[in-house]
Amino acid sequence: MQSNEIRSRFLKFFEARGHKIIPSASLIPENDPSVLFNTAGMQPLIPYLLGQKHSEGARLVNVQKCVRTQDIDEVGDNTHDTFFEMMGNWSLGDYFKEEAIKWSYEFLTSKEEGLGLDPKRLYITVFEGDENAPKDTEAFEIWQKYVPESRIYFMSAKTNWWSVGENGPCGADTEMFYDVTSEGLGDLTKEEYIKADQEQKVIEVWNDVFMEYEKKDGKVVGKLKQRNVDTGAGLERVLMAVQGKDNIFETDLFQPMIKIINNSINSNDEKAKRIVADHIRTSVFIIVDGVIPSNTARGYILRRLLRRAIRYANILGIDKIKIGELVDVVVDKYGPTYPNLIQNSENIREEILQEGNKFRRTLNNGLKEFEKGINPFILFTTYGFPIELIEELAKEKGVTIDRQDFDRKMKEHQDKSRTASAGMFKL
Ligand code: SER
């Protein structure tokens, strides 16, 4: 089963259970200055989770584009990426745990309507309780209708409490994991399950959040007006499970990119290949939603992703023609689902190639400069190295850089340029 089929099965499954299909919002949040990009399907729905009426009703379903860059250093392992699609269904004060769990299980395991996954490879976690909310025995009991008790584990708020930030809706969650090993792990004790999770032998495929609390300034302050369900299943990870792969880069979403890379170079550096593929794919999606590389906010995140991709492409020997081909296959692969990629393909390609050209001009000289001794301020201002890339290079060399000193110098530099341009306008 390919990615297109899975997206459409998900939407149909929940439509048949009374949900209205809503389109993916842009990656750029509307009316939410707290984040640069949408990081979860629920983000555009926060006002409705807090009680505002949604025009499409109380049951919604969609596949939302998301960008998360906090785990950028993990990209290259089996499961991390900076762009992903989150399949989600929501109850805005309508159904609660009973239906949410039943439908998650049915979608995961049904051969006719869902993914047809093997129920014997499923593991479940539920919230063990703390000072904010009681132990979730209700979810535990509901799960026992579908999964043996020996594969359901109580876990702390560290993993089984979900909130969007310091302010907003939150609640206990129940997470579903799937065994992606070829041999099959069978029954696991809680300790064995935790180890299997760390080793990426079981992967999280879905998270059902029972959103009934509210957080203010980092503290849970009480219950919301309504009890909501907010679920999220990462398409790439679901694909791993369905397609029997042990990493996201072998699924149909990434394969066309990895093939181009493998056909053009001869290297075993899988991590570098995965970083190039991931960062180019994310950049395509950020650009189509209207961002261009720059030195501030979203534009800086984009610049950082592209320059990091170029650095790894350089190590691997991937030239700009191949980068162009990588952009084209992302557009081909995702175009049927997101037609604005096709309409804007020329522009996306141009932005990515231009940024690559700019950075290629200074990359090698900057690396030579770096070898002489690390001056982050010079590398940033003269050679255009994003500070995070400088930190990464320094780490590879086994040294740390003084970030505070860098930030101070940057501030002085910016203040000076501001004074200079302010002076100019006075004339
Ligand atoms: N908001 C939850 C998550 O991001 C479930 O969708 O995991």
Task: Note the pLDDT of residue 327.
Answer: 98
Task: Note the pLDDT of residue 203.
Answer: 96
Q: How remote is the CA of residue 84 from the centroid of ligand 1, in Å?
A: 12
Whether 210 lines ligand 1, by a CB cut-off of 6 Å, is no
pLDDT tens figures, 221-262: 999 999 999 999 999 999 999 999 999 999 999 999 999 999
Whether 171 lines ligand 1, by a CB cut-off of 6 Å, is no
Whether 231 lines ligand 1, by a CB cut-off of 6 Å, is yes
Domain range annotation of the chain: 3-247, 255-417
Residues 140, 126: contact at Cβ < 8 Å? yes
Strand 152-155 to 122-127 pairing: parallel
Task: Note the pLDDT of residue 374.
Answer: 86
Residue with CA nearest ligand 1 atom 4: 40
pLDDT tens figures, 95-112: 999 999 999 999 999 999
Whether 168 lines ligand 1, by a CB cut-off of 6 Å, is no
Residue 125 DSSP SS3: strand
Choose one of 161, 164, 173 to mutate for the ligand 1 pocket test, by most ligand atoms within 8 angstroms of C-beta.
Answer: 173
Q: How remote is the CA of residue 231 from the centroid of ligand 1, in Å?
A: 6
Task: Note the pLDDT of residue 60.
Answer: 98
Residues 355, 376: contact at Cβ < 8 Å? no
Whether 162 lines ligand 1, by a CB cut-off of 6 Å, is yes
Q: How remote is the CA of residue 300 from the centroid of ligand 1, in Å?
A: 26
- CA–CA separation, 203 and 208 (whole Å): 15
pLDDT at 420 over 60: no
Q: How remote is the CA of residue 173 from the centroid of ligand 1, in Å?
A: 9
Residue with CA nearest ligand 1 atom 6: 232
Whether 289 lines ligand 1, by a CB cut-off of 6 Å, is no
Q: How remote is the CA of residue 92 from the centroid of ligand 1, in Å?
A: 15
pLDDT at 425 over 70: no
Whether 175 lines ligand 1, by a CB cut-off of 6 Å, is no
3-247 belongs to CATH 3.30.930.10:
yes
- CA–CA separation, 288 and 345 (whole Å): 8
pLDDT at 393 over 50: yes
Whether 49 lines ligand 1, by a CB cut-off of 6 Å, is no
Q: How remote is the CA of residue 308 from the centroid of ligand 1, in Å?
A: 28
Task: Note the pLDDT of residue 34.
Answer: 84
Whether 169 lines ligand 1, by a CB cut-off of 6 Å, is no
Whether 163 lines ligand 1, by a CB cut-off of 6 Å, is no
Buried b (16+ CB within 10 A) or exposed e, 391-400: bbbbeeeeee
Residues 316, 265: contact at Cβ < 8 Å? yes
Whether 38 lines ligand 1, by a CB cut-off of 6 Å, is no
Buried b (16+ CB within 10 A) or exposed e, 309-326: bbbbbbebebeeebbebb
- CA–CA separation, 313 and 298 (whole Å): 22
Whether 238 lines ligand 1, by a CB cut-off of 6 Å, is no
Q: Which atom of ligand 1 is nearest to the CA of 40?
A: 4
pLDDT tens figures, 261-304: 999 999 999 999 999 999 999 999 999 999 999 998 999 999 99
Mean pLDDT (whole number) for 139-163: 97
Query: Tokens 């029997």 correspond to what residue?
Result: 244
Choose one of 162, 213, 237 to mutate for the ligand 1 pocket test, by most ligand atoms within 8 angstroms of C-beta.
Answer: 162
pLDDT cut 90: percent of the chain above it: 90
Whether 283 lines ligand 1, by a CB cut-off of 6 Å, is no
Mean pLDDT (whole number) for 327-341: 98
Q: Which atom of ligand 1 is nearest to the CA of 88?
A: 6
Mean pLDDT (whole number) for 57-66: 98
pLDDT tens figures, 207-219: 999 999 999 999 9
Mean pLDDT score of the chain: 95
pLDDT tens figures, 8-27: 999 999 999 999 999 999 99
Q: How remote is the CA of residue 41 from the centroid of ligand 1, in Å?
A: 7
- CA–CA separation, 34 and 381 (whole Å): 28
Residue with CA nearest ligand 1 atom 3: 232
* Confidence grade of residue 427 (pLDDT, cut at 50, 70, 90): very low
CA angle 43, 283, 335 (to 5 degrees): 85
Task: Note the pLDDT of residue 419.
Answer: 61
Q: How remote is the CA of residue 229 from the centroid of ligand 1, in Å?
A: 10
Mean pLDDT (whole number) for 399-415: 89
Residue 179 DSSP SS3: strand
Task: Note the pLDDT of residue 33.
Answer: 83
E strand segments, 95-201 = 122-127, 152-155, 161-163, 168-179
> Which bin fits 51, alpha (ψ -120 to 50), beta or left (φ > 0)?
left
pLDDT tens figures, 23-35: 999 999 997 888 9
Task: Note the pLDDT of residue 424.
Answer: 46
Q: What are phi and psi of 163, to 5 degrees?
A: -140, 160
The model's pTM is 0.94
Whether 41 lines ligand 1, by a CB cut-off of 6 Å, is yes
**String of DSSP letters for 392-406:** HHHHHHT----HHHH
Dihedral angle at the C-alpha atoms of 8, 11, 14, 18, nearest 10 degrees? -120
